Amino acid sequence: MRRRRTDDAGASLAELLVTLAVMSVVMALFTGAIVQIYRTVNATEALSDSQNELSRAFQRFDRELRYASWIADPSNQDAASTGPWYVEFAGPDPTACFQLQLIPGAQNKGVLRLLTWTRGAPPPAGTPGQTIASQVDTTAGRRPFFERQAYGATPYASPTATPSGGAVGTGFQSVFQRLRIKLTTRSGAGTAQIDTTFTALNTTKDTPAGNGCSEGRPTP
């Protein structure tokens, strides 16, 4: 009987098992890489969305607060407060009232909203404003979220060194009412932050402490 040629010989069971084991390792590595890429893309997109939200919030604040004619003292700014947190201000037309609302949510993530109304016709209690940003970190370490600086305030008590060797900051005195807004959004392990002080150019030293727009502040 003629002998079978070696190139027609089939694979042994051992060779098949080794091949399957190698392919299993390759597939596991490939699948793990795809999953990691997917998670990274999702985290990047979520962080980008948070940054875009804060960027839009900054533009909105700059437009509304730059020409404000009065700013209220913010509510519930102590470290023990569980919110909600509010601050009201009047527009260049003093009958146009605005309220920033930071409403706490689950897992220390709040929603920032802007409520508007005409002075003398406040909205019913509990009326939600327009959502500006979400997933705002409301942990105690992030507070205060809103900080009012009155006319004549000196908010920079500690001097800041300059490249020339001097220091600036301690001599600054505000000639307007100002509102500092400090917010951080969290998405997974990523964070985005806004920490900006907005100057109300329509305020002066004669701007009264009270204003009708305070009617929009919910009572405890």
- Give tens-digit pLDDT for 161-183: 556 655 556 677 889 999 999 99
| Ramachandran region, residue 15 (left: φ > 0; alpha: ψ -120 to 50; beta: rest) | alpha
Q: CB neighbours of 1 closer than 8 A, spacing ≥ 6?
A: none
d(CA 177, CA 121): 25
65 to each of 37, 53, 148, how far by Cα in Å?
A: 41, 18, 12
How many CB atoms sit inside 10 A of residue 84's CB?
Answer: 16
- Would you say residue 45 has pLDDT above 90? no
> What distance in Å separates the CA atoms of residue 12 and residue 168, rounded to the nearest whole number?
81
Distance CA 50, CA 191 (A): 8
> Residue 168: its pLDDT value, please?
58
Confidence grade of residue 202 (pLDDT, cut at 50, 70, 90): very high
Q: Is the dihedral of CA 43, 181, 136, 117 positive or negative?
A: negative
Q: What is the pLDDT of residue 43?
A: 63
Sign of CA dihedral 28, 30, 35, 36: positive
Across the range 114-131, mean pLDDT stands at 91
- The structure tokens listed for 98 are 């605005």
Per-residue pLDDT band for 151 (boundaries 50, 70, 90) equals very high
Higher pLDDT, 163 or 24: 24
Rg value, the chain, Cα: 29
> pLDDT (tens digit, 9 = 90+) per residue, 64-106?
899 999 999 998 877 778 889 999 999 999 899 999 999 999 8
Alpha-carbon span 133 to 194, nearest angstrom: 11
Higher pLDDT, 199 or 13: 199
- Separation of alpha carbons 26 and 18, rounded Å: 12
Residue in 100, 115, 111 with CA at minimum distance from that of residue 148: 100
Given pLDDT bands bounded at 50, 70 and 90, which one contains residue 147? very high
Q: Is the pTM of this model over 0.75?
A: no
CB 32 within 8 A of CB 175: no
- Mean pLDDT computed over 150-167: 71
